[in-house]
């Protein structure tokens, strides 16, 4: 008995309650329990009376009453129930006598009534949570915050009658039922409830489903039970599993109103309608279930239909066992959106790319001859499986062979091949594969208690897969290939240990590529292997046998795998040439200590052991891997080789490699090892390679070394020998670093018996005999000894020779840079009649440098170079004599700076090439030079001369004073001097004769200063030039000065002083200098107009001011006095000047007509003579 019980349930915003805290229970942290504000529920004045006659078991009663208050919402509950004079067993086994007693209230009473108003659902929810924390908040999400309920019970001649009405914010139901000897409905039961997104989320969490589907907005569902009938006595003392379903009568319908589901932004399903029906009659063995639904996925409709006849079990616990008796299930799904399942399975689009966007599926499960038979038909964009039928017994077995078609899309292949490489292999077009399934089975417990899990090792299979044609593109090193008539058979009692057999043919598209070069047009193949597959483990291969047959080669490959050891055995035949010369190869390889992580195989720590031999192997084998090199011209059409290698990969990689190579043009052998670098394995066993370099072979090499065309060629084969007595090339420390070659050690000789080169244009030829080179270094950065000797002759029988002895010490830093701080060099080189230009082309020197060398030196060179530099201190002597030049440098390097012991001297023959490739870059107005009467002479004073070698830069070079003597020189009519002359005369002569005074210049801090140099052009017009060139800034700022004498002679005017100099700017860059001709014309016009006087003089004065004539600096004086042509000019000056008067000179010109007057004047000044 409870009297006046009062209590409070408080729930904070996180869903924690005071009851949980009081019981010291961990609070249930569910997002569904979280509220915007706390909730307080008060129950008060609760009275409860429970009466139970335990002795006679004849009287049972309960009376419960109370009030509730949730925040400001008040409520109440009254529950009154009693059973007098009857036992529970009598009530459940109700007969006519029991019914009469119930109707006679003075003998016995059964009564139950309830009224509930605004009962807080959170109160009930809390008691449920104490037992089942995982269900926290579920009742509130299903019903809402409060519940209203009325239950009335009456007794009639028909038995006990009940009337129930319940309503909440999310649910509404009403029911009228009668209980006599059975439970039955007087009126249809109706339950309408509102399904919210939060409720769906909660149910998914409770069931621990991996589904990502969410309800977008609330919807409504309705359950209507028209008929329900079940005998009352069958409920007595029965567990749920023991209930007999046979007498059940049921006619019910569930209907879901339109609803929207989503899974991420991409997937959405709009359910238009979903209706499920269940129907069975009492004492019938069969019940029917139907399901019909219409929906849309992203606007596309799909439907689901299910019709099932279900056997009613004598015991509910045997329902699954009895399911297959008289089974009849027909299911049809049309337009099923595959993407909906793709994401749920976590396949990231692979299911869609395998099957297509939508599928039609028909499923039937029937009982035939007391045996369940399942038939599946599936049709989609990429899969067509008709009538795949299984018999379900102890095993699920394919009842008859089936044929399926699978269309493989390019996007499916790209999903894997382009994952890490956007330029990886691609499928060109859709591929059709036909799968004939001969056998398919897996165990099945019959009758099963539940569907057994699927394991690879329990699946037996025998299937043939055929591909008519497969076109693959962008395969690494191979390119595009086509596979034809491919057949693959998979067979075995267990798919985890199945045997695979594949055969077919493939060919490379086009006549360029690795496969075509190696094997020819078409290659037939067969491959067999046993593949081991285990759940959650890596796939392994016991053995692999591969055989390739083509018109050019045959190959057999056998591979076996034992734990982490892979063994390869291979052999084959090759054919090449029109005569189909037969070659062969064979070998074996072992790979151990490799590992596998997931699907990735890791060979980074593996050991590799290789032995291989080849006889008459086509050189096309090499060309197939290294493109764009004609190896046939270098080594011949075929070669023989033997290779032995033991290689251990990893951070401390080391190993050995022995190679022996023989061919028509190349022979050699070497025994190498590597351990953080490459070494000769045995210093007492040198590596030696002999090469016969043919003219075709040299042309191939040159093409690889330089893209520029060359006139040089070998006129006959040259035999070369490279002998390595010592070699040590250290390995780079990281993949991004370059190989530190400067730390290498080498001891090698190179010998060339005879080198005969020819210039294809001039047919000049040079022959060098007995070329011997030697290089020795224990560490290139520390010391290098290099010697080179050769003797020969030119085609004019001039004897030529090379004799170089050098020793470089501390030549490079630890970073591989030239050591400018303490480098030491001993050099003694003598060259006699060396055809520099020809040999420069042979060595693939840059064409621009070849042009400069040819312009300065000429065809042959005699040179003496001596140096004895110790730690960037010591003398250096260079004397160069060529057809075009003679140069002498006697210098001293002191603390890294080059000084002169004597004045530098050079004498060069003036040629168009010298002007084009050398002079015009330094002195722009010398562009267009053709020749001179005397050689050009260049001298530099030792005073003020220095070149710092450590900080070598143009701005650090110092040339205190230098002189360039040209004398009488001839120019073309396209250079800068021709532009100057065009201002003075309209002469169209092809050549311009210029007489120059010595040119004095200096170079300080990158500023080239040219003192005034006077010139007499065409024996008539004296001009001058001076100025500066800022070489680092690439800025030319020079002046061309037109003398008064030149202007007077050009325009036949008087009144201009002969000593006057009109200054015209020559500016721009070193590659593009120009005279501002429009400004020059304006200045000349102004000057001539001033000399005329009168109105034109007024125009001239204005134009002179406008063109800057008043701001000119005084021109520098001539550096040579008297000028060498002064006597010629004096004779002309003694003659009387006769000026041609200007016609139609107006008496006066107003200022506003100056522009028109200037135009008139220019026409008269520059009219054609």
- For residues 153 and 161, the answer to whether their CB atoms sit within 8 Å is yes
Counting other chains too, the contacts that 997-1000 makes at CB distance below 8 Å and 24 or more residues apart are 997/1118, 997/1119, 997/1120, 997/1123, 997/1124, 998/963, 998/964, 998/965, 998/966, 998/1119, 998/1120, 999/923, 999/963, 999/964, 999/965, 999/966, 1000/961, 1000/962, 1000/963, 1000/964, 1000/1119
For 328-342, 930-944, 983-997, 1099-1113, which range has the lowest pLDDT when averaged over its residues?
Answer: 1099-1113
Average pLDDT over residues 386-409: 90
Residues shown for the chain = 1169
Tokens standing for residue 842: 């042979």
Tell me the backbone φ, ψ of residue 423, rounded to 5 degrees.
-105, 20
Taking every pair of Cα atoms in the chain, the longest distance, rounded to a whole number of angstroms, is 170
Q: What is the 3-state secondary structure (H, E, C) of 733-788?
A: CCCCCCCCHHHCEEEEEEEEEEEEEEECCCCCEEEEEEEEEEEEEEECCCEEEEEE
Tell me the backbone φ, ψ of residue 898, rounded to 5 degrees.
-90, 125
- For residues 1001 and 1099, the answer to whether their CB atoms sit within 8 Å is no
Tell me the backbone φ, ψ of residue 198, rounded to 5 degrees.
-65, -35
Q: Which candidate, 50, 103, 109, 63, places its Cα nearest to that of 85?
A: 109
**Other beta carbons within 10 Å of 887:** 18
Q: Which candidate, 128, 126, 122, places its Cα nearest to that of 147?
A: 122
Tokens standing for residue 961: 């004073």
Calculate Rg over the CA atoms of the chain. Answer: 53
43 conformational bin, left if phi > 0, alpha if psi -120 to 50, beta if neither = beta
pTM of this structure: 0.57
CA distances from 865 to 514, 788, 855, 877, 894 (A): 51, 14, 21, 6, 18
For 716, the 3-state DSSP assignment is: coil
In 12-105, which ranges are E strands?
Answer: 39-52, 59-70, 73-84
pLDDT for the residue 390: 92
pLDDT for the residue 481: 84
Instruction: Give 24-39 pLDDT, tens digit per residue.
Output: 666 555 444 555 667 7
Give the burial class of 476: count Cβ atoms within 10 A of its Cβ; 0-12 exposed, 13-18 middle, 19 or more buried: exposed
- Alpha carbon dihedral 473, 476, 479, 483, in 10-degree steps, equals -60
pLDDT for the residue 593: 80
Average pLDDT over residues 823-838: 89
Task: Please confirm whether the linkage preceding 1122 is cis (ω < 30° from 0).
Answer: yes
- Of the spans 330-334, 559-563, 618-622, 1098-1102, which averages the highest pLDDT? 330-334
Tokens standing for residue 123: 């109160």
- For residues 936 and 908, the answer to whether their CB atoms sit within 8 Å is yes
Q: Can you tell me the distance from the alpha carbon of 429 to that of 201, in angstroms, rounded to the nearest whole number?
A: 43
Tokens standing for residue 864: 């003496």
Q: Which candidate, 278, 335, 283, 275, places its Cα nearest to that of 308?
A: 278
User: Angle at Cα 706 formed by Cα 701 and Cα 708, nearest 5°?
Assistant: 120
Average pLDDT over residues 723-728: 92
Q: Can you tell me the distance from the alpha carbon of 398 to that of 385, in angstroms, rounded to the nearest whole number?
A: 13
- For residues 800 and 791, the answer to whether their CB atoms sit within 8 Å is yes
| pLDDT of 1147 strictly over 60 | no
End-to-end alpha carbon distance in the chain: 142
Q: Which residue has the higher pLDDT, 1107 or 186?
A: 186
| pLDDT of 445 strictly over 50 | yes
Q: 159-184 burial by CB neighbour count: b if 16+ within 10 A, else e?
A: bbbbebebbbebebbbbebbbbbbbb
Instruction: Give 840-870 pLDDT, tens digit per residue.
Output: 766 656 667 777 778 888 878 899 999 999 9
CA distances from 428 to 384, 480, 486, 556 (A): 22, 9, 17, 29
For 315-324, 399-408, 602-611, which range has the lowest pLDDT when averaged over its residues?
Answer: 315-324
Tokens standing for residue 837: 């230009």
Instruction: Give 1055-1102 pLDDT, tens digit per residue.
Output: 778 788 888 888 898 878 887 766 666 766 666 665 555 444 444 444
| pLDDT of 1107 strictly over 80 | no
Q: What is the 3-state secondary structure (H, E, C) of 401-435?
A: CEEEEEEECHHHHHHHHCCCCCCCCEECCCEEEEE
| pLDDT of 827 strictly over 70 | yes
């Amino acid at each position: 008995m409870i009297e006046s019980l009062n209590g409070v349930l408080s729930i904070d915003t996180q869903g924690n309650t005071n009851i949980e805290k009081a019981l010291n229970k961990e609070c249930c942290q569910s997002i569904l329990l979280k509220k915007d504000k706390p909730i307080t529920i008060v129950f008060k004045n609760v009275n409860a009376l429970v009466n139970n006659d335990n002795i006679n078991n004849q009287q049972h009663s309960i009376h419960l009453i109370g009030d509730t208050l949730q925040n400001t919402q008040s409520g109440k509950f009254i529950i009154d129930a009693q059973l007098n004079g009857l036992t529970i067993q009598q009530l459940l086994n109700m007969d006519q006598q029991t019914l009469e007693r119930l109707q006679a209230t003075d003998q016995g009473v059964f009564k139950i009534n309830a009224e509930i108003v605004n009962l807080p659902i959170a109160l009930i929810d809390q008691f449920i949570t104490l037992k089942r924390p995982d269900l926290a908040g579920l009742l509130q999400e299903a019903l809402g915050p409060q519940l209203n309920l009325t239950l009335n019970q009456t007794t009639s001649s028909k038995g006990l009658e009940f009337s129930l009405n319940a309503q909440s914010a999310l649910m509404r139901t009403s029911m009228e039922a009668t209980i006599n000897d059975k439970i039955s409905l007087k009126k249809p039961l109706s339950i309408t409830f509102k399904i919210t997104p939060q409720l769906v989320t909660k149910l998914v969490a409770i069931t621990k489903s991996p589904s990502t589907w969410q309800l977008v907005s609330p919807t409504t569902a309705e359950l209507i039970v028209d008929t329900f009938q079940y005998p009352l006595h069958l409920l007595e003392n029965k567990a749920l599993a023991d209930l007999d379903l046979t007498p059940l009568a049921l006619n019910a319908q569930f209907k879901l109103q339109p609803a929207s589901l989503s899974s991420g932004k991409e997937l959405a399903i709009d359910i238009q309608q979903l209706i499920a029906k269940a129907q069975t009659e009492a004492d019938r063995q069969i019940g029917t279930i139907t399901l019909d639904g219409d929906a849309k996925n992203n606007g596309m409709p799909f439907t689901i239909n299910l019709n099932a006849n279900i056997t009613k079990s004598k015991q509910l616990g045997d329902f699954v066992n009895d399911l297959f008796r008289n089974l009849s299930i027909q299911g049809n799904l049309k337009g099923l959106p595959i993407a909906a399942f793709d994401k749920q399975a976590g396949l990231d689009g692979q299911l869609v790319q395998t099957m297509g966007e939508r599928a039609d599926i028909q499923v039937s499960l029937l009982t035939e001859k007391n045996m369940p038979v399942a038939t599946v038909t599936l049709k989609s964009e990429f899969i067509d499986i008709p009538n795949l039928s299984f018999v379900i017994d102890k095993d699920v077995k394919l009842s008859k062979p089936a044929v399926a078609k699978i269309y493989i899309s390019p996007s499916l292949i790209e999903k894997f091949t382009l994952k890490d490489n956007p330029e990886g292999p691609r499928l060109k077009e859709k591929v059709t594969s036909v799968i004939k399934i001969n056998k398919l089975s897996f165990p099945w417990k019959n009758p099963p208690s539940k569907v057994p899990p699927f394991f690879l090792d329990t699946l037996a299979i025998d299937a043939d897969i055929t591909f008519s044609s497969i076109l693959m593109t962008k395969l690494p090193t191979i390119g595009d290939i086509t596979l034809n008539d491919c057949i693959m058979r998979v067979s075995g009692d267990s798919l985890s240990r199945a045997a695979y057999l594949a055969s077919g043919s493939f060919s490379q598209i086009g006549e360029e590529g690795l496969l075509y070069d190696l094997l020819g047009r078409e290659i037939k193949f067969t491959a067999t292997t046993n593949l081991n597959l285990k759940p959650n483990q890596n796939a392994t291969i016991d053995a692999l046998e591969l055989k390739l047959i083509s018109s050019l080669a045959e190959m057999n490959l056998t591979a076996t795998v034992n734990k982490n050891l892979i063994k390869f055995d291979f052999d084959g035949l090759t054919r090449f040439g029109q005569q189909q010369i037969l070659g062969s190869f064979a070998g074996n390889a072992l790979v151990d200590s490799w590992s596998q992580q997931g699907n990735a195989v890791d060979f980074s720590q593996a050991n590799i052991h290789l032995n291989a031999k080849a006889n008459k192997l086509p050189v096309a084998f090499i060309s197939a891997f290294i493109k764009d090199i004609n190896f046939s011209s270098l080594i011949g059409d075929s070669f023989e080789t033997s290779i032995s290698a033991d290689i251990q990969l990893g951070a401390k990689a080391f190993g050995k490699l022995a190679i022996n190579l023989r061919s028509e043009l190349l022979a050699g052998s070497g025994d190498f090892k590597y351990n953080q670098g490459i070494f000769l394995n045995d210093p007492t066993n040198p590596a030696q390679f002999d090469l016969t370099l043919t003219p075709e072979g040299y042309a191939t090499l040159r093409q690889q070394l330089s893209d520029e065309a060359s006139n040089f060629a070998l006129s006959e084969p040259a035999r070369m020998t490279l002998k390595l007595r010592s070699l040590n090339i250290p390995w780079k420390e990281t993949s991004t670093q370059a190989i530190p070659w400067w730390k290498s050690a080498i001891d090698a000789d190179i010998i060339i018996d005879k080198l005969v080169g020819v210039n294809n244009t001039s047919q000049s030829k040079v022959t060098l005999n007995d070329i011997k080179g030697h290089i020795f270094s224990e560490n290139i950065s520390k010391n290098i000894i290099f010697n080179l000797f050769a003797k020969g002759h030119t085609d004019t029988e001039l004897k030529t020779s090379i004799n170089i002895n050098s020793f470089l010490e501390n030549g490079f830093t630890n970073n591989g840079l030239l050591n400018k701080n303490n480098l030491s060099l001993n050099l003694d080189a003598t060259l006699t009649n060396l055809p520099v230009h020809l040999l420069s082309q042979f060595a693939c020197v840059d064409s621009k440098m070849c042009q400069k060398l040819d312009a300065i030196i000429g065809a042959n060179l005699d040179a003496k170079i001596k140096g004895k530099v110790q730690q960037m201190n010591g003398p250096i002597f260079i004397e160069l004599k060529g057809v075009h030049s003679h140069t002498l440098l006697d210098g001293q390097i002191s603390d890294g700076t080059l000084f002169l012991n004597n004045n530098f001297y050079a004498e060069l023959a003036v040629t168009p090439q010298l002007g084009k490739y050398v002079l015009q870059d330094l002195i722009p107005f010398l562009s267009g030079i053709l020749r001179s009467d005397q050689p050009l002479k260049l001298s530099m004073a030792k005073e003020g001369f220095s070149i710092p070698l450590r900080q070598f830069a143009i701005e650090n070079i110092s040339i205190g004073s230098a002189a360039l003597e040209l004398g009488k020189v001839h120019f073309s009519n396209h250079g800068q001097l021709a532009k100057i002359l065009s201002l003075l005369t309209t002469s169209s002569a092809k050549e311009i004769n210029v007489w120059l005074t010595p040119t004095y210049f200096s170079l300080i801090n990158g500023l080239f200063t040219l003192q005034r140099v006077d010139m007499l052009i065409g024996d008539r017009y004296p001009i001058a030039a001076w100025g500066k060139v800022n070489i680092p800034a690439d800025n030319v700022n020079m002046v061309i000065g037109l003398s008064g004498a030149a202007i007077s002679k050009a325009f036949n005017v008087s009144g201009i002083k002969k000593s006057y100099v009109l200054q015209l700017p020559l500016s721009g860059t070193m590659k593009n200098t120009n005279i501002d001709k429009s400004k020059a014309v304006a200045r000349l016009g102004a000057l001539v107009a001033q000399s005329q006087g009168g109105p034109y003089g007024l125009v001239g004065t204005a134009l002179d001011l406008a063109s800057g004539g008043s701001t000119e600096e005084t021109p520098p004086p001539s550096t040579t006095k008297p000028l060498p042509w002064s006597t010629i000019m004096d004779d002309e000056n003694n003659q009387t000047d006769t000026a041609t008067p200007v016609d139609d000179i107006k008496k006066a010109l107003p200022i506003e007509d100056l522009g028109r007057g200037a135009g008139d004047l220019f026409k008269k000044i520059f009219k054609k003579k």
